[in-house]
Amino acid sequence: MGVNVNRNDAIGGLLVLLFSMLTVGLSLKMPLGTFRAAGPGLFPLCLGILLAMLSSIFTFGTMMRLHRDGKGGGKPLEIAGSAMPVIGFMAVIAFAAGFLEQLGYAPTAFIVVMALLQLLGWSYWRRNLAISLAASAVSHFIFVTWLQIPFPKGWLGL
């Protein structure tokens, strides 16, 4: 049973790799702290490194399968299939980074989860609202209330 791959899978993997390298680069501009007293740049740095490793493995494996199957050349480059969700994911993350200070942590987390559920194709609005509210509330409780991490409150004060 073989895995069906195409050039768009490799393009999506490369886009995620570029995004992870950007995340690592930007997180290094923030104070890192230590693992016991983490600064604001430590968590994005760790996630960026993990994402870079996983996307490198995925992209390398995809390129090897394309080369082995002989599907590497001849087709025009197009953005379709697996590349569009990657672009949507990057747009959601860019939105979160751009509006976290203004909106605050809880509303931004709600919008991010809601948008990602829509990108994943979950089309039931009530279920998505419930999941987004629950994820936002639980993550706010864990990070802000329990761990007392100082996230931006935004103009709503949440």
d(CA 3, CA 101): 43
Segment 148-156 mean pLDDT: 78
Q: Span 51-73, mean pLDDT?
A: 79
Pair 73, 2 in one domain: yes
One domain for residues 26 and 69: yes
Q: What is the mean pLDDT of residues 111-134?
A: 87
Final residue belonging to a domain, choices 58, 79, 100:
79
In the chain, how many domains are there?
2
pLDDT over 70 at 73, yes or no: no
> Which distant-in-sequence residues (6+ apart) come within 8 Å of 112 by Cβ?
92, 93, 95, 96
117-144 mean pLDDT:
86
The phi and psi torsions of 88 (rounded to 5 degrees) equal -65, -40
Residue range(s) defining the domain that contains residue 155: 82-158
Does this model's pTM top 0.85? My answer is no
Specify the pLDDT at position 87: 82
Rounded-to-integer distance, Cα 113 and Cα 134, Å: 10
| Domain limit, last residue, from 21, 44, 79 | 79
Q: Is pLDDT above 90 for 31? A: no
Q: Which amino acid is at 85?
A: P
For the segment 103-116, the average pLDDT, to the nearest whole number, is 89
Identify the band that residue 4 occupies on the pLDDT scale cut at 50, 70 and 90: low
**Of the ranges 4-18, 62-76, 128-142, the best mean pLDDT one:** 128-142
CB 27 within 8 Å of CB 97 = no
Domain finish residue from 79, 109, 141: 79
